[in-house]
Amino acid sequence: MQPDANAPLHRLARVAAHLNPQMEEGAPALRPAACRAKGGAPGFKVAILGAAGGIGQPLSMLMKMNPLVSVLHLYDVVNTPGVTADVSHMDTGAVVRGFLGAQQLDAALTGMDLVIIPAGLPRKPGMTRDDLFNKNAGIVRTLCEGVARCCPDAIVNLISNPVNSTVPIAAEVFKKAGTYNPKRLLGVTILDVVRANTFVAEVLGVNPRDVSVPVVGGHAGVTILPLLSQVTPPSSFTQEEIKYLTNRIQNGGTEVVEAKAGAGSATLSMAFAAAKFGDACLRAMRGDAGIVECSYVASEVTELPFFATKVRLGRAGAEEILPLGPLNEFERVGLEAAKKELSESIQKGIAFVNK
């Protein structure tokens, strides 16, 4: 006789199996995916690597709220059981599963459509993003090797700093594994856009939701180049305003690092920005048209192999890299300074994987 699928004890066993994947062994019929009303909803499978961190925790919450997410895998080397239990109680559709430590990385990544990576050390006052290279380069390499092994077709949103170097690192890892598709590797620079929209709106006295500022180049100091001549709605600024806004946007990260005084860097605004970017990727993957965001990607817009500009997102990732558009003299000077620093950061990333 078949077991009664509606028997209360059987249902509880299935819920327990969902909470504790160890139970799956020897009890294949009780897999989490078989849970009633769990995992069956249409949507995308998303993994967050570094999910227990300052960015990872609020980002996990925001992705659990996203109706396009059906399965959410939370991976970290510490504390994922607690974060997973906590986030999993939110009454939204996504099934949440936690994965702890290197031996569970492959399980965390298998079958994922989108992998968001905020793993790695944050800055303390007095540090540059490049000072994080020695620790974070290895972390990003290991995680991207996992992506190449377990979900080579996933779109990757890379947050870990220094982004100007970690994206080239990821590209080299994927090239070595034979899985590299430049459209699927997106460096997350949207926080610069989020800040630029906020600071420009303050100066203009309008709602930041109504402002859009393209920010190009990269994600560190002078490589962050806001194009104030291309703000929408079209707006004019005095020379003094341009200098103030450019400086504030370029140093937005440092402003937070100093205000946090040793307790880390931007986490909440970054989680907000990453959730916005992740949602844009998911909508594009669903087939929505006309989705354009700034991102640091493989690019032919300049002579550098990577550069952040507006990109049109589609089912395959960054389907079109949009041109810089007309720059004024101030922006042309800024572009040269950005390219000089970016070139060194890119070379450093490539050399790290090939040494």
Ligand X SMILES: O=C([O-])CC(=O)C(=O)O
Ligand Y SMILES: NC(=O)C1=CN([C@@H]2O[C@H](COP(=O)(O)OP(=O)(O)OC[C@H]3O[C@@H](n4cnc5c(N)ncnc54)[C@H](O)[C@@H]3O)[C@@H](O)[C@H]2O)C=CC1
Query: Binding site for substrate: which residues?
Result: 123, 129, 161, 195
> Out of ligand X, ligand Y, none, which partner does residue 118 contact, by CB within 5 to 8 A per kind?
ligand Y
Q: Binding ligand Y by CB under 6 A: which of 43, 58, 118, 168?
A: 118
For residue 126, with 0-12 CB atoms within 10 Å meaning exposed, 13-18 middle and 19 or more buried, which class applies?
exposed
Query: Any contact of residue 161 with ligand X (CB under 6 A)?
Result: yes
Catalytic residue IDs: 219
Q: Which residues of 20-40 are buried (b: 16+ CB within 10 A; e: fewer)?
A: eeebbeeeeebebebbeebbe
- d(C-alpha 61, C-alpha 81), whole Å: 14
Query: Any contact of residue 297 with ligand Y (CB under 6 A)?
Result: no
Query: Any contact of residue 123 with ligand X (CB under 6 A)?
Result: yes
- Cβ closest to ligand Y, residue 33 vs residue 102: 102
Q: Binding ligand X by CB under 6 A: which of 72, 231, 266, 318?
A: 266
Q: Which residues are annotated as a binding site for NAD(+)?
A: 50-56, 76, 136, 159-161, 270
Residue by residue, DSSP assigns 64-131 as HT-TTEEEEEEEESS-HHHHHHHHHTS-SS-EEEEEESGGGHHHHHTT-SEEEE--SPPP-TT--GGG
* Token reading at 98: 């936690």
Q: Binding ligand X by CB under 6 A: which of 18, 38, 64, 129?
A: 129
Binding mask 250-269 vs ligand Y (x if CB under 6 A, - otherwise)? --------------xxxx--
Query: Any contact of residue 217 with ligand X (CB under 6 A)?
Result: no
In the complex, the smallest distance separating the C-beta of residue 8 from ligand X, rounded to whole angstroms, is 49
Give the angle 119-320-346 at the CA atoms, nearest 5°.
Answer: 45
Instruction: Pick the stretch among 81-89, 248-256, 294-302, 310-318 that binds ligand X (CB under 6 A).
Output: 248-256
Q: How many CB atoms lie within 10 A of CB 255?
A: 12
Chain residues 157-196 in contact with ligand Y, contact rule CB under 6 A:
159-161, 163, 188, 191
Q: Binding ligand X by CB under 6 A: which of 39, 53, 253, 349?
A: 253
Output phi, psi for 224, to 5 deg. -85, 110
Evaluate whether 246 touches 216 at the Cβ level (below 8 Å). no
Contact positions toward ligand X, by CB under 6 A?
A: 122-123, 129, 161, 191, 252-254, 256-257, 265-266
